[in-house]
Amino acid sequence: MKKALLNIFALSSILTTIGYIMDGDTNVPSMVLRFTEFFLMLGMVFLFMSFFYFGSVFIKRSFRKLRS
């Protein structure tokens, strides 16, 4: 589980960085606001990816228990 969380975090940080670079909004002069936006987006992407990954693993295990 620790390796899965680390992989999800790495993938979400890559996706967040790409999304933040490709963002077409005007630059905000406050550096604190930039970091806040980045880390909040990183947290949201991480939570969504974790929810779907662990949810699908749970459903897959539940179906395997039903079949046996």
Do residues 50 and 8 make contact, with C-beta atoms less than 8 angstroms apart? Answer: yes
| String of DSSP letters for 36-64 | HHHHHHHHHHHHHHHHHHHHHHHHHHHHH
DSSP 8-state symbol, 23: -
The stretch 4-10 carries a mean pLDDT of 95
Residue-range domain boundaries for the chain: 2-67
Task: Please say whether the dihedral angle defined by the alpha carbons of residues 7, 12, 18 and 21, taken in this order, is positive or negative.
Answer: negative
* pLDDT tens sequence across 10-65: 999 999 999 988 887 777 788 898 899 999 999 999 999 999 999 999 999 999 98
pLDDT at 29: 80
**Residue 68 pLDDT > 80, yes or no?**
no
Q: What was the pLDDT predicted at 55?
A: 96
